[in-house]
Amino acid sequence: MLKFLSLFLCLLASSCMTQKQRVEIAHTELTAFLALEPSIKKELILEDARFTLLHIPQSHYSKIYCDKLLEKFELWQGKRDLSSIAEEQDKYSQLIQKIDSEQKSIINFLRKHHSSYDCLYVEGLAYPGTYATKKPLQEIAQIKDEVNRALQFADGTHRAPQPAYFAGASLFLYQEDKTPMLGVEHQALLRLTHKAYSKEYDSKVPRSAFIQACHEERETQMIKNMSKKYEANNRYDRSIKFLLCGSLHDFKDNVLEWNKLHPEMKFNLLILEP
C-alpha cells in the first residue's frame, strides 16, 4: 500500500510539471553527464530541449553476412579453391576481432554511466519489447558457434574471441548486470527491413534505395518511441536516452525534422565516437 501511494504521488507530481521545469531537468541531467564526458561529440545542443538522444554507434555481428560467407565457402570448396576460403577467413577474423573490441568498449562506457539511465534502448527489437524472454547465455553461445563454423570451415585455423563480446553488449549487460533493455523499433518497419535484406525481396525499387528509405523511417520512429515513455511517466523517464544502434545510422536530419514538428519535445543529439 505504501509503495502504491509513493508511486501515485510521484506520478501526480510529474503530471503537474510545467514545460519549463521539464526543460530545466533535461538541462541539469545533460550538464551533469557532459561534466563526466566532456569530449563526447555534441552534434546538436538546444536551450529548450526536453530530451537528449545519445547515439552509441556499434558494429555488430550479422547472421545474414555469416550465412552468405558460408555459402561462398561451400561454392569455393566445390571448386577446390581453398586459398580463397583461407583469405576470406583472415578478413572475417579481423572483422570479428574489431567488433569484439568495440562491443567491449561499449560495455565499459555503459557500466561507467549506469546511474545516468534507467534502461538501454536497443535496435532490432520492436517497441515496447524487452529482453524478458531472452536467454543471453544461449544466444551468445549460438552466435559464437556460428562464427566458429565460418572461421573453421575447411580446417580453418581462426577461432572466435573469448568471451565473445562480439555477440553484443546488450546481451552481456542484460546477463551480467540485469540492465533493462527496451526495444525502440517500429514492428512493421523492422520486418520490412529484414525482408529487404533477404532473398525474398521482390520490389521493383532497387534494394539499396529501399533499404535506405527503411533506415530513414526507422530512425524517425525510434525518436518517436524514445519520447513516449517520458510522457507515460513510468520508470523510464530520464531525459537522456541511451540508444545502442548501428554505426551507419545518422540521426541528425531526423532530430532536426522532429524538433520542427514537436517544438515542446525537442531533442539534443550526442554521439559517442570511437
pLDDT tens digits for range 52-103: 999 999 999 999 999 999 999 999 999 999 999 999 999 999 999 999 999 9
Q: Interior CA angle at 249 toward 241 and 264, to 5°?
A: 40
User: pLDDT category, 228, cuts 50, 70, 90?
Assistant: confident
Read off the amino acid at residue 234: N
Q: Are strands 181-185 and 120-126 parallel, antiparallel or unpaired?
A: parallel
Q: How far apart are CA 154 and CA 143, in angstroms?
A: 19
5-9, 106-110, 207-211: least confidently modelled range: 5-9
Most distant CA atoms of the chain, gap in Å: 72
Has residue 259 got a pLDDT over 80? Answer: yes
- 270 contacts 52 by C-beta, under 8 angstroms: yes
Helix (H, G, I), strand (E, B) or coil at 213: helix
Read off the amino acid at residue 155: D
Which residue in 213, 179, 221, 178 sits closest to 193, CA to CA?
213
Has residue 254 got a pLDDT over 50? Answer: yes
- Spell out the domain ranges in the chain: 13-271
- What is the pLDDT, as a whole number, of residue 46? 98
- pLDDT > 90 in the chain, percent: 85
- What is the pLDDT, as a whole number, of residue 2? 52
Q: Are strands 120-126 and 51-58 parallel, antiparallel or unpaired?
A: unpaired
Specify the residue for cell string 560467407.
Answer: 69
User: pLDDT category, 42, cuts 50, 70, 90?
Assistant: very high
Predicted TM-score (pTM) of the model is 0.90
- What is the pLDDT, as a whole number, of residue 17? 81
- pLDDT > 70 in the chain, percent: 91
Mean pLDDT of 112-133: 95
User: pLDDT category, 15, cuts 50, 70, 90?
Assistant: low
- What is the pLDDT, as a whole number, of residue 14? 52
Query: Mean pLDDT for the chain?
Result: 92
Q: How far apart are CA 120 and CA 56, in angstroms?
A: 10
Helix and strand tally (H, E) in the chain? 9, 6
The helix (H) or strand (E) run that includes residue 145 is: helix 136-151
User: pLDDT category, 199, cuts 50, 70, 90?
Assistant: confident
Read off the amino acid at residue 95: L
